[in-house]
């Protein structure tokens, strides 16, 4: 009976897409699904509306209410335009920035967005071609705009696209603007409400004028120009993995003073098909394989990559055996923050009024570094909008040194309010030169950090569960862990349970419950054991996944014992995965 009711509902929704407001190609595709005996595609495309969440839209491209297409993008933009006109009713001319990545349909969607904003009397600065997400954030602040939109699905597979909305501080929206925008978008009930016919007089194309200012600002982040001058010929292999980093990241590296930037020619092609990789995600070894092959060929000092919209960074360095090995996202953030704190201290720039930011699922070793350096640390929810919120709250009061999250995102500057691979790649190259000046390679520097501040090993495990049934399974998994939390993990008793959905912290031994102080709730569970192990569990907000973050701690007695300590930590993580049923 439930299946029949669902089929009846999706059929009615699909038939509405055969109306006059939809183009012929869309109607033909919908008709084909309606006539097909197998209703799987029909249900997947129409069983719900693609949700405009607090970060915007992200989904598989195609026809239907649950897909990324000109109509779902159109409804989102019309809703946002309506909200902007109410939120800034006293402003003579509201303005927005619109950008996009290299994905299939990204330019089309960006032009649709620009047309709708302009049709609503809103001034649009539209980038002439694909640009990094952080540059769009920068442009909002530079041009004094009230909002911005970037068309991107970040590092998702090629069938996806997305729509990220930003507020006037250059950050993704938080309360009340996120929920208000969602309400306005949800009020768009019919395609006839969307103003698709643009006003060309209100659309201004931008490009190099923004690029040059952005690159110049990033150069000001450099803390070791003298070191770069000595090691300017550091061998740097960089790949954009077919994305928007192709032009600006090598340009920024050169602007920092690096002269030996080695490309991966096959991945220079900007293409939404991402032809050389299964998924354009720099955290995956397969996506970095061609860059590593190039590094072996030239004996590179460091290998780096950016994802399609150039906000995430991937890093590969030589391990103790001289083999090229991926640096995980936790280590990347830790290296950045360690350098920024240590180098500022060397230069005498620390005044005691600095702060750094990380997310709650990012390694707690950073807490040890910050504590010893006497620098304030903020621990926030996953998502750069929360890091940007702390930056906004401290603006004019304290100096931001940097912030990042384990998902390969870092931001070193305050003139952008989202993670930035353009500045991150440039700064990571500087760190490699700084380490070299001290007689260290990157791996030796990492080992020094562990010996000084405590050893940790992290692993992320994602269970992919697609479609309607997958979403229901993810909910069931979260319910199971909430109702039946483990009493011990890898032999160590669970001491504390944090549930950010209820904002409660349970101290098991004491039998007490405390309130967690956070700006809102979030569907995240954390377990902390007596031996320092941390397990975090949360559904992804952008992909059909449930994510497990495992972090174990220990002591690294000497550099010679690094491999042994690492192997023991990996064995412990494998045991934890087995216990959690995610191996």
- What is the per-residue DSSP string for 480-492? HHHHS--SEETTE
Enclosing H/E stretch for 505: strand 504-507
- DSSP labels, 155-220: TS-TTEEEEEEEETTSSB--TTHHHHHHHHHHT--SGGGS-----GGGEEEESHHHHHHHHHHHHT
Burial (Cβ within 10 Å: 0-12, 13-18, ≥19) of residue 444 = middle
**Four-point Cα dihedral 117, 119, 122, 123, nearest 10:** 90
Helices and strands counted in the chain (H then E) = 18, 23
And the tokens for 214?
Answer: 């952005």
154, 252, 368, 407: the catalytic one is: 154
And the tokens for 347?
Answer: 């230069």
Specify whether 446 is located in the same domain as 490.
no
Instruction: State the first-to-last Cα distance of the chain, in angstroms, to the nearest integer.
Output: 37
Give Cα separations from 37 to 25, 62, 169, 311 (angstroms). 21, 19, 50, 43
Specify whether 422 is located in the same domain as 565.
no
Residue 90 CB-half CA count within 13 A: 0
Specify whether 224 is located in the same domain as 202.
no
154 noted as active-site residue: yes
The CATH number linked to 263 is 3.40.120.10
Specify whether 40 is located in the same domain as 54.
no
Cα(256)–Cα(127) distance, integer angstroms: 25
Specify whether 138 is located in the same domain as 268.
no
- DSSP labels, 380-429: E-SSHHHHHHHHHHHTTTSEEEEEEETTTEEE--SS--S--HHHHHHHHH
Specify whether 190 is located in the same domain as 325.
no
Specify whether 352 is located in the same domain as 405.
yes
Specify whether 358 is located in the same domain as 467.
no
What's the pLDDT at 1? Answer: 39
Q: Are 505 and 516 in contact (CB under 8 A)?
A: yes
- Strand 160-167, strand 147-151: pairing: antiparallel
Choose one of 171, 186, 206: the last residue of a domain: 206
Query: What is the domain count for the chain?
Result: 4
Choose one of 421, 453, 485: the last residue of a domain: 453
Q: In the sheet that 203-206 helps form, which strands lie side by side, from edge to edge?
A: 57-60, 160-167, 147-151, 95-100, 123-127, 203-206
What's the pLDDT at 509? Answer: 85
Cα(544)–Cα(418) distance, integer angstroms: 23
Give Cα separations from 24 to 68, 72, 285 (angstroms). 17, 16, 42
Q: Which residue carries 């084909």 as its tokens? A: 32
Specify whether 61 is located in the same domain as 175.
yes
How many C-beta neighbours within 10 Å does residue 241 have? Answer: 28
Q: Are 327 and 335 in contact (CB under 8 A)?
A: yes
Give Cα separations from 510 to 174, 265, 488 (angstroms). 36, 59, 16
Render each residue's pLDDT in the chain as its tens digit; 583 residues: 357 888 999 999 999 999 999 999 999 999 999 999 999 999 999 998 888 876 789 999 999 999 999 999 999 999 999 999 999 999 999 999 999 999 999 999 999 999 999 999 999 999 999 999 999 999 999 999 999 999 999 998 999 999 999 999 999 999 899 999 999 999 999 999 999 999 999 999 999 999 999 999 999 999 999 999 999 999 999 999 999 999 999 999 999 999 999 999 999 999 999 999 999 999 999 999 999 999 999 999 999 999 999 999 999 999 999 999 999 999 999 999 999 999 999 999 999 999 999 999 999 999 999 999 999 999 999 999 999 999 999 999 999 999 999 999 999 999 999 999 999 999 999 999 999 999 999 999 999 999 999 999 999 999 999 887 888 899 999 999 999 999 999 999 999 999 999 999 999 989 999 999 999 999 999 999 999 999 999 998 777 899 999 999 999 999 999 999 999 999 999 999 999 999 8
**Nearest 5 degrees, angle CA 141-CA 142-CA 144?**
60
The CATH number linked to 459 is 3.30.310
**Nearest 5 degrees, angle CA 166-CA 150-CA 98?**
90
Choose one of 13, 28, 47: the last residue of a domain: 47
For residue 372, report the phi and psi dihedrals to the nearest 5 degrees: -70, -30
Query: 3-state DSSP call for residue 88?
Result: coil
- What residues make up the domain containing 119? 50-206
Residue 380 CB-half CA count within 13 A: 19
Cα(189)–Cα(582) distance, integer angstroms: 41
Specify whether 158 is located in the same domain as 36.
no
Specify whether 465 is located in the same domain as 351.
no
Cα(541)–Cα(172) distance, integer angstroms: 14
Cα(58)–Cα(152) distance, integer angstroms: 8
Specify whether 224 is located in the same domain as 329.
yes
């Amino acid at each position: 009976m439930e299946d029949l009711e669902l089929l009846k509902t999706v059929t009615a929704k699909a038939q509405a897409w055969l109306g006059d407001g939809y183009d012929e190609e869309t109607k033909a595709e919908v008709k084909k699904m309606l006539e097909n005996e197998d209703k799987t595609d029909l249900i997947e495309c129409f069983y719900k509306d693609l949700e405009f969440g607090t970060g915007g839209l992200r989904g598989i491209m195609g026809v239907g209410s649950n897909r990324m297409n000109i109509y779902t993008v159109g409804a989102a933009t019309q809703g946002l335009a309506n909200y902007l006109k109410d939120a800034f009713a006293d402003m003579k001319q509201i303005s927005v920035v619109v950008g996009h990545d290299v994905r299939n349909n990204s330019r089309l969607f960006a032009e649709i967005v620009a047309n709708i904003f302009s049709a609503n009397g809103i001034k649009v600065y539209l980038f002439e071609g694909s640009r990094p997400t952080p540059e769009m954030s920068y442009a909002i602040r530079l041009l004094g705009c009230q909002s911005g939109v970037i068309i991107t699905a970040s590092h998702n597979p090629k069938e996806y696209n997305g729509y990220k909305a930003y507020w006037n501080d250059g950050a993704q929206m938080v309360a009340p603007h996120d929920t208000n925008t969602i309400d306005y978008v949800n009020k768009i009930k019919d395609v006839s409400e969307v103003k698709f016919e643009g006003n060309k007089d209100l659309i201004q194309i931008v490009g190099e004028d923004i690029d040059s200012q952005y690159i110049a600002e990033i150069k000001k982040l450099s803390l070791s120009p003298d070191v770069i001058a000595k090691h300017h010929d550091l061998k740097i292999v960089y790949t954009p993995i077919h994305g928007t980093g192709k032009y600006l990241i090598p340009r920024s590296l050169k602007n920092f003073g690096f002269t030996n930037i080695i490309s991966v020619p096959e991945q220079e092609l900007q293409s939404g098909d991402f032809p050389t990789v299964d998924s354009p995600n720099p955290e995956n070894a397969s996506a970095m394989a061609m860059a590593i092959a190039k590094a072996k060929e030239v004996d590179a000092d460091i290998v780096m990559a950016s994802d399609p919209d150039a906000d995430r960074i991937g890093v590969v360095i030589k391990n103790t055996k001289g083999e090229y090995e991926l640096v995980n996202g936790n280590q990347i953030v830790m290296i950045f923050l360690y350098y920024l704190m240590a180098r500022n201290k060397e230069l005498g720039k620390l005044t005691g009024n600095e702060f750094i930011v990380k997310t709650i699922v990012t390694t707690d070793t950073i807490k040890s570094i910050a504590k010893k350096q006497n620098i304030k640390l903020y621990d926030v929810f996953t998502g750069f909008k929360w890091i940007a919120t702390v930056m906004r709250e401290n603006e004019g009061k304290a100096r931001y040194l940097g912030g990042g999250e384990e998902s390969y995102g870092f931001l070193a500057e305050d003139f952008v309010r989202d993670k930035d691979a353009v500045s991150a790649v440039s700064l990571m190259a500087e760190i490699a030169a700084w380490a070299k000046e001290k007689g260290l390679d990157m791996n030796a520097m990492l080992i020094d950090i562990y010996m000084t501040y405590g050893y940790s090993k992290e692993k992320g495990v994602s269970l992919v569960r697609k479609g309607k049934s997958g979403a229901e399974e993810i909910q069931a998994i979260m319910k199971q862990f909430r109702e039946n939390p483990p009493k011990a993990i890898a032999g160590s008793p669970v001491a504390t349970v944090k549930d950010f959905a209820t904002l409660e912290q349970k101290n098991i031994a004491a039998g007490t419950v405390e309130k967690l102080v956070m700006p809102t709730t979030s569907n995240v569970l954390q377990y902390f054991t007596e031996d320092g192990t941390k397990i975090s569990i949360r559904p992804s907000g952008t992909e059909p996944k449930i994510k497990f973050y495992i972090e174990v701690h220990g002591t690294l007695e000497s550099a010679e014992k690094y491999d042994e300590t690492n192997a023991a930590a990996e064995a412990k993580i494998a045991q934890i995965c087995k216990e959690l049923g995610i191996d």
